Structure 1
Amino acid sequence: MDILSIKDDRIKLIEPHDLNCAVLNDYVGFTRQDDMLHPDALSWMSCAIHCRPSAAIIYADEDQISDSNARMNPDFKPDWSPDFFRSAGYIGPFAVLRKHVILEAHLWDAIDRGLMGSQLIFHAVEEVLDAKCIVHVPQVLYHVRCLPQLQRLGAIQRATSALQAHLDRVFPGALAQHHGEDFSGQPWFRVRYPMPASMPLVSVIIPTRNAKSLVEQCIQSLVEKTTYKNYEIILVDNGSDDPESLQYFESLNGLPNITVVRDDGEFNYSKLNNDAVVKARGYYIVLMNNDIEIIHDDWLDEMISLGSRPGTGVVGAKLLYPDGRVQHAGVIAGLGGVAGHIHRYLESDQAGYQGRAVLTHNLLVVTAACLLVRRSIYESVRGLNDVDLKVAFNDVDFCLRVHQAGYMNVWTPFAKLIHHESATRGLDDHPVKKARFLRECDFMHKTYDDLLKNDPFYNKNCTLNDESFHRSMPTRFSSVAFIDQLSA
Structure 2
Amino acid sequence: MPVCDPDRPWLEKAIESVRQQTYSHWQLCIADDASTQPYVRQLIESAAASDERIDVVFRESRGHICAATRSALSLSNGEFITFLDHDDEISPYALARIAVGIDRDHEVDLLYSDEDIIGSDGKRYDPYFKPDWNPELLRSQNYLCHLSIYRANLLRELDAFRPEVQGSQDWDLALRASENARCIRHIPHVLYHWRSISGSTAHADNVKVYALDAGRRAVQEHLVRRGEKAEATLLEFGHLRIRRSLPGEMPGVSIVIASDSESDIFRHMKVLQKFNGYSLELVVATTEHFDEMDFPDGCIVFPVDSEEAQSSRLNRAAAAASGDILCFMDERCEAIDAVQLESLVFEAIRTEVGAVGARLLSPGGCIQHAGYFLDFEMIVLHPYRGAPANFAGLRNRALLQQNVSAVSASCLAVKKDLFEQIGGFNAASGVFHDVDFCLRLLEAGLYNIWTPYVSLTMRDSLNDDTVESCQDEADAMQYMKTRWRDQLVRDPAGNPNIMIDHGLPVPVVKRT
Pick the TM interval, shorter chain.
0.7 to 0.9
Cα shift at 1:193? 1.8
2:467 pairs with 1:414: no
Q: 2:134 touches 2:493 (CA, 8 Å); kept in 1? A: yes
Q: 2:20 corresponds to which residue?
A: none
- Match for 1:152 among 205, 208, 212? 208
Cα distance per residue 1:167-188 (max 9 Å; x no partner): 121143311111244xxxxx31
Cα shift at 1:18? 4.5
- Match for 1:9 among 42, 52, 68? 52
Cα shift at 1:385? 0.7
- Match for 2:475 among 416, 433, 439? 439
Higher relative contact order (CA 8 A, sep 6+): 1
Note closer, same or farther for the CA distance 1:271–1:47 as it changes in structure 2 (3 Å cut). Answer: same
**Aligned residue identity for 1:281:** S
Cα shift at 1:77? 0.4
Q: 2:382 touches 2:503 (CA, 8 Å); kept in 1? A: yes
Note closer, same or farther for the CA distance 1:58–1:108 as it changes in structure 2 (3 Å cut). Answer: same
- Match for 1:322 among 363, 375, 382? 363
| RMSD of equivalent CA atoms | 2.5
Q: 1:227 touches 1:297 (CA, 8 Å); kept in 2? A: no
Cα shift at 1:20? 5.9
Cα shift at 1:32? 2.1
1:117 match: secondary structure: helix
Instruction: Write the distance in 1 (CA, Å) between the matches of 2:101 and 2:217.
Output: 31
Note closer, same or farther for the CA distance 1:426–1:333 as it changes in structure 2 (3 Å cut). Answer: closer
Larger mean CA deviation between 370-379 and 14-23 belongs to 14-23
Larger mean CA deviation between 346-355 and 145-154 belongs to 145-154
Alignment of 1:191-202 (within 5 A): 191-202=242-253
- Match for 1:280 among 317, 321, 340? 321
- Match for 1:98 among 128, 151, 165? 151
Q: 1:374 corresponds to which residue?
A: 415
- Match for 1:170 among 226, 250, 253? 226
Note closer, same or farther for the CA distance 1:469–1:59 as it changes in structure 2 (3 Å cut). Answer: same
Cα shift at 1:94? 2.3
In the superposition, the TM-score normalised over structure 1's length comes to 0.87
Note closer, same or farther for the CA distance 1:9–1:381 as it changes in structure 2 (3 Å cut). Answer: same
Q: 2:91 touches 2:192 (CA, 8 Å); kept in 1? A: yes
Note closer, same or farther for the CA distance 1:296–1:93 as it changes in structure 2 (3 Å cut). Answer: farther
Q: 2:384 corresponds to which residue?
A: 343
Unaligned runs of 5+ in 2: 1-43, 58-67
Note closer, same or farther for the CA distance 1:108–1:465 as it changes in structure 2 (3 Å cut). Answer: closer
Cα distance per residue 1:227-265 (max 9 Å; x no partner): 88321111111x226xxxx257x312xx12111111234
Q: 1:456 corresponds to which residue?
A: 492
Alignment of 1:66-215 (within 5 A): 66-107=119-160, 109=162, 116-128=169-181, 130=182, 133-146=183-196, 147=200, 151-181=207-237, 187-209=238-260, 211-215=261-265
The count of aligned residue pairs is: 453
2:113 match: secondary structure: strand
Larger mean CA deviation between 331-340 and 448-457 belongs to 331-340
Instruction: Write the distance in 2 (CA, Å) between the matches of 1:352 and 1:172.
Output: 29
Cα shift at 1:226? 5.8
In the superposition, the TM-score normalised over structure 2's length comes to 0.83
**Aligned residue identity for 1:451:** Q
Q: 1:59 corresponds to which residue?
A: 112
Cα shift at 1:225? 5.7
Cα shift at 1:473? 2.6
1:470 match: secondary structure: strand
Note closer, same or farther for the CA distance 1:51–1:325 as it changes in structure 2 (3 Å cut). Answer: same
**Aligned residue identity for 1:176:** A
Unaligned runs of 5+ in 1: 182-186, 477-488
- Match for 1:235 among 249, 262, 284? 284
Which one has the largest radius of gyration?
A: 2
Identity %: 27
Q: 2:165 touches 2:215 (CA, 8 Å); kept in 1? A: no
Instruction: Write the distance in 1 (CA, Å) between the matches of 2:379 and 2:220.
Output: 38
Cα shift at 1:116? 3.1
Instruction: Write the distance in 2 (CA, Å) between the matches of 1:162 and 1:428.
Output: 45
Instruction: Write the distance in 2 (CA, Å) between the matches of 1:71 and 1:323.
Output: 37
Q: 2:22 corresponds to which residue?
A: none
Cα shift at 1:85? 0.9
Instruction: Write the distance in 2 (CA, Å) between the matches of 1:29 and 1:8.
Output: 19
Q: 1:356 corresponds to which residue?
A: 397
Instruction: Write the distance in 2 (CA, Å) between the matches of 1:219 and 1:256.
Output: 10
